[in-house]
Structure 1
Amino acid sequence: MHGKLALIAGPTASGKSDLAVELALTVEERGQSAVIINADSAQVYADLRVLSARPSDEEMRGVPHRLFGTWDGSQACSAADWANAAKHEIAEAHERSAVPILVGGTGLYIRTLLDGIAPIPPIREEVRDEVRQMETASAYAALKSEDPERAERLAPADSQRITRALEVVRSTGKPLAYWQQNKTGGIAGTVTLAPLILLPDREELYARCDARFERMMDDGAVEEVEALLERDLSPDLPVMRAIGVPEIAGWLRGEYPRDEAISLGAQSTRNYAKRQFTWLRHQPPESWARVKPKNVSLESNFEILF
């Protein structure tokens, strides 16, 4: 793999998709073609067009978009699954001298693509069953004993990461850090990366999250959740845990009124945006530009592409 790769990362509702289209059109004005590749873990699912704010045909403005709505909700799309598909799309773009533009806010996807994935052996089934039956507090206490370094880095309520770390150390006999230092398959060293991180004003971002979720309720989100419930999919699938699905499902089951579903969905969206904001501020390399959306200059921020 060789060539340039643009990356626009930002929290939900930050306007990153619109910016990616503007960049693609600018690249095309300069005589090159461009393709936008999704790096958002919700927008990969065909079932979540509205709830994931997947770009419409009108919003795409004729620019090719890849890995949007590619997976059926019955199939979980892991970071490794997505990274393999993204590598293919990037290689295909480079083969025809097009500029691939990654856009999204899922840090694990981006990190897996660029840095590779730890070659962790499959978790033994009996270990997985045992760990996943534990209360979060008990699992965290066990992790503090069996992998204190990892426990120190995790919040006591971070059930998903606590469970994963405990599964790994119990199944393999080695902590997660051991496996992560041997990552393979990353493309960071094989591409010329032009990254940009959007960090909008927090209060403005949260207001956009609130307004967007209420608008989604009127624009087809309810019908999307109804369709998912009719399929009787496993509640453990990512598509069933996506922001808005549990909140709207609760209302449809009569557990609370519509206004509360909107309030819960908006709160979940804000919480997600806050987690993305924190990750994007601290986890990517310091050399990656971090700007407010209103201060973006395509000419200077992506000078390497031109």
Structure 2
Amino acid sequence: SLHDALPISAFDSADIAARGRPAIVVGGTGLYFRALTDGLADIPQVPETQREISSLLYAAQGEPEFRDVLAALDPAAAARIEVGDRQRLIRAHAVAMATGKSLTAWQTDTRPTLAPGAWRGVVLDPPRAELYDRCDARLSVMVESGALDEVAAMETRGLPASLPALKALGYRELAAHLRGETSLDEALDAARQETRRYAKRQMTWFRNQTPDWGRVEALEPGAQWDQLAALAPSGPLRDPPPP
């Protein structure tokens, strides 16, 4: 989880820096980077009973009415959380009820994990066509590596559709094929489109949320290194590592 990973990342970064080496944190989830640069709210553990109560209330009222209830407790969260995001709506309600303080207030009262000015952000921002080709290749590798068998095994367990693991890219489309609702080609086409839409949302997030980060458009390692070298804050980088 984010709460588990953040202290580890901070510790590892400090340990690496103490040895005179730059730490490199790599990933594609903006929330993790935001937690490192802006901090993570130290929210107390919400009792399981409160999470269950909030979940039951959501189920009984439906999203529109539940969102109105949340708006009275945490107006910013009620306005910010996207339609259909049941998990985050329930989370915001449970936090407010259990702690007496809104999730937004907890999140506002944070300190950055990494000291300002002690890090440099870079976004891989390749041309759209090349990015989509990589998305398509990713799906092909997934299927060749046994994704259909994995989805079939998960489907036999009767897991709730709200489980995060069942929201993985490609899962829903492959599951529909296994239920006989679509052909394999139709499922793969739908999964490609969903993967591309996800990649587009990611890039939109980074463009909007990290406008001051450097940009690297190349996908090939050698060209990436050249572009990274040009972004180095204090002189040229050393020779690139061997391939």
Asked if structure 1 preserves the Cα contact closer than 8 Å seen for 2:170 and 2:194, the reply is: yes
How far apart, in 2, do the equivalents of 1:97 and 1:227 lie?
Answer: 47
Instruction: Report the equivalent of 1:139.
Output: 66
Q: Mean alpha-carbon deviation: is it higher for 247-256 or for 275-284?
A: 247-256
Q: 2:51 aligns with which of 125, 128, 150?
A: 128
* Structure 1 unaligned blocks of 5 or more: 1-77
Instruction: Indicate how the Cα distance of structure 1 residues 226 and 301 shifts in structure 2: closer, same or farther if over 3 A, else same.
Output: farther
Counting aligned pairs with the same residue, the percent is 38
- The Cα offsets for residues 140-180 of structure 1, whole Å up to 9 and x where unpaired, read as 23223332222223333333332322222222222212111
Deviation by residue 1:163-205 (Cα, 9 ceiling, x = unmatched): 3222222222222121112225x43217721211233344553
Q: What residue in structure 1 maps to residue 193 of structure 2?
A: 267
Question: Going by fraction, where is helix more abundant, 1 or 2?
Answer: 2
Partner amino acid, structure 2, of 1:82: A
d(CA) in 2 for partners of 1:209, 1:108 = 21
* Bigger-Rg structure (1/2): 2
CA contact (8 A) 1:118 1:179 kept: yes
1:152 aligns with 2:75: no
Give the letter aligned to residue 103 of structure 2.
L
Per-residue Cα deviation, 1:199-250 (whole angstroms, up to 9, x for no partner) = 33445534542343134312443344456668x5965654443222343344
Aligned to 2:174, the other structure's residue is in SS state helix
Paired residues of 1:80 and 1:112 also in contact (CA < 8 A): no
Q: Report which of the two has the higher share of strand.
A: 1
- Provide the C-alpha distance between the structure 2 equivalents of 1:244 and 1:176, rounded to a whole number of angstroms: 31
- Superimposed CA distance per residue, residues 102-155 of structure 1 (whole angstroms, 9 cap, x where no aligned partner): 221111111223332211122233331132242333332322333222222333
Structure 2 equivalent of residue 174 of structure 1: 101
What's the TM-score, normalizing by structure 1?
0.62
Contiguous gaps of at least 5 residues in structure 2: 238-243
User: Which runs of structure 2 are paired with 1:96-111 in the superposition (5 Å)?
Assistant: 96-111=19-34
Partner of residue 212, structure 2:
287
Who is 1:32 aligned against? none
Q: 1:161, 1:150 → 2: CA distance?
A: 9
- Output the CA distance in 1 between the equivalents of 2:153 and 2:13: 33
Alpha-carbon separation, structure 1, partners of 2:198 and 2:114: 26
Shift of 1:79: 0.7
CA distance in 1: counterparts of 2:142 and 2:158, whole angstroms: 22
Instruction: After TM superposition, give the deviation of residue 253 of structure 1 in Å.
Output: 4.5
Aligned residues: 226
Higher RCO, 1 vs 2 (CA within 8 Å, ≥6 residues apart): 1
